[in-house]
A and B are shown apart, each in its own frame.
Chain A
Amino acid sequence: MLSSMVISLFLILAKIIVVLTVLMTTVAYAVWLERKVVARIQSRWGPYLVGPHGLLQPVADGLKIFFKEDFVPSEVDRVVFWLAPFLAFSLALLSISVIPFGESITIAGEVIQFQITDLNVGLLFILAVTSLGVYGVALAGWGSNSKYPLLGGLRSSAQMISYELSLGLGLMGVVMLTGSLSLREIVEGQRGLWNIIRQPVGFLIYFTAAVAETNRVPFDLPEGESELVGGFHTEYSSLKFAMFFMAEYANIVTVSCLATLMFFGGWLGPVFGPPLLRALLPVFWFCLKVFCFLFVYIWIRGTLPRFRYDQLMAFGWKFLLPVGLLNVLATGLFLALRSS
């Protein structure tokens, strides 16, 4: 009894360590990938000097930012100024805890799920954490007590409130089709047909809103450097700046995971070969799909210019939200007609 509890506790700890290590490595190399791909788009080489093809650049960057002076301006609100980066970073890490990476496997009678915890309202949990994520940015803007960060923080709160609605509405169609809020069940429901075929409009709404929620180009107004110096993180330096940076990329990874799970069948894919390969192939398919989304993110950044603020608001409220509502209505009608 006691030993089985110790084993399950050990298993949970091991899972948390593995998932966090993989996430942080992905974050570090997503930055490298972004610099490489954007460089390719702009006919440059990108990082090339540290390691082969600049592969050790993330390590060098990490070391450099760790030894930088942590400068705190004298007029900041100290509590909020410290709280904001920690909040942003920890919330960004929190949502990965309910993401399932693959089917469960059984080793020596012990069922191991490729997931830290299987919550039956996992999808809503991610949406809740996302909705709290705005505080990191908003508080950073306010706590800095400086005009450009304040403007950035204001913009981002308005933007994230506006696009959160569309984000939820885009996912709602899938939830209605599956009849469950558990991410595992949503993936299992796509065994015959991926949801992208059944909910193409929902996917487009979700992906657009997700780009806006993560403050990425073309919705990166909170940190529009040509007008706001650096936006909400202007006054931050060293490790606290790095926390915002890592939080942004961790959020990108999370929304990519969610898009994969909700619309592209999660870990589903051709499975063959010996037992070990069978166990690991679903995880491979999942990672491959998430990687494709990361690439699309970077591709968008290298391609599109930034929106103007009024365009952003008009697009969110007058186009994305009505289309999302119509999509939910159409899905509901379809389901009602099918069941009658």
Chain B
Amino acid sequence: MVPLFYIFAVVAILAGLSVVLQRTPVYSALSLIVVLCALAVVYLLLGAEFLAVVQVIVYAGAIMVLFVLVIMLLNAHREEPTDRSRLARILGAPLLIVFLGEVLYAIWRQFPPEQTAAAPAAGAGPRAIGELLFRNYVLPFEVTSILILVAVLGAVVLAKKQI
């Protein structure tokens, strides 16, 4: 299991770099799909089959299809290299270091290196997740759905000239 984890972690990181570095939008989108599928495999290795499959269905199968669809609609073949903004050039590197440090610190505090965390396999089935969502976290869940509904309505209002 452990070698498999390292293989797919490396795949995810390389594909993640490729998302940022590619000049052709379709290649970036495809790399992102690879990242999402590699993450799904990591979930699978942790014993969370349901989460892994849902990850593929929702992210790789639905959201990324929309991305690819939009790229195809614009028929964008190569990104035009623009003169990047000065603000981004100055702030980019420091911000990156700060965020990276923050994430590393959080991971360090959560999992000290001398203590290896066991995978919580039991509570990841569809029934357990459903009970968590609709019992313990029902309010955040419903609020999220309302947020998405508002976003959908907004998109319709903005896109349609007359309703």
Contact = CB atoms under 8 A, between A and B. Distances in A.
Our verdict on whether A and B bind, yes or no, reads yes
Contact of A124 (B27, B54, B66): B54
Contacts of B27: 79
Nearest to A141: B72
A124 to B, nearest CB: 4
A205 to B, nearest CB: 18
Contacts of B68: 135, 138-139, 142, 157
B68 to A, nearest CB: 6
Given A124-B53, A131-B56, A80 B69 contact: no
Interface in A35-56: none
B72 A153 contact: yes
Interface string B1-36: 000000000000000000000001011001001000
Interface string A53-90: 00000000000000000000000010110010000000
A163 to B, nearest CB: 12
B26 A128 contact: no
Interface in B42-86: 49-50, 53-54, 56-57, 60-62, 65-66, 68-69, 71-73, 75, 77
Given A125-B53, A161-B65, A131 B72 contact: no
B47 to A, nearest CB: 11
Given A121-B50, A124-B53, A138 B72 contact: yes
A198 B62 CA distance: 30
A134 interface: yes
A38 B68 CA distance: 36
A157 B57 contact: no
A59 to B, nearest CB: 36
B126 interface: yes
A181 B30 CA distance: 29
A150 B33 CA distance: 21
B56 A150 contact: no
Nearest to A128: B56
B77 to A, nearest CB: 8
B26 A80 contact: yes
A131 B49 contact: no
Contacts of B75: 150
A154 B73 contact: yes
A133 to B, nearest CB: 9
A171 B19 CA distance: 35
A132 B34 CA distance: 12
Contacts of B61: 128, 130-132, 134, 164
A121 B62 contact: no
B65 A127 contact: no
B57 A134 contact: no
Contacts of A119: 49
A156 to B, nearest CB: 10
Interface in A76-124: 77, 79-80, 83, 119-121, 124
A158 interface: yes
A121 B60 contact: no
A181 B127 CA distance: 10
B76 to A, nearest CB: 10
A134 to B, nearest CB: 6
A270 B30 CA distance: 48
Contacts of A164: 61-62
B121 to A, nearest CB: 12
A283 B50 CA distance: 29
A125 B72 CA distance: 27
A236 B76 CA distance: 22
Nearest to A132: B61
A67 to B, nearest CB: 32
12 contacts: A77-B77, A120-B49, A121-B53, A124-B57, A127-B53, A127-B57, A132-B60, A142-B68, A142-B72, A150-B72, A157-B72, A164-B62
Given A80-B30, A120-B125, A157-B68, 19 more contacts: A77-B24, A77-B26, A121-B49, A124-B50, A128-B57, A131-B57, A131-B60, A135-B65, A135-B68, A138-B69, A138-B72, A139-B26, A139-B68, A154-B73, A157-B65, A160-B65, A161-B65, A164-B62, A181-B126
Lowest 6 CB-CB distances: which A-B pairs, in order?
A131-B61, A128-B56, A124-B53, A157-B69, A128-B57, A142-B72
Interface of A: 77, 79-80, 83, 119-121, 124-125, 127-128, 130-132, 134-135, 138-139, 141-142, 145, 150, 153-154, 157-158, 160-161, 164, 181
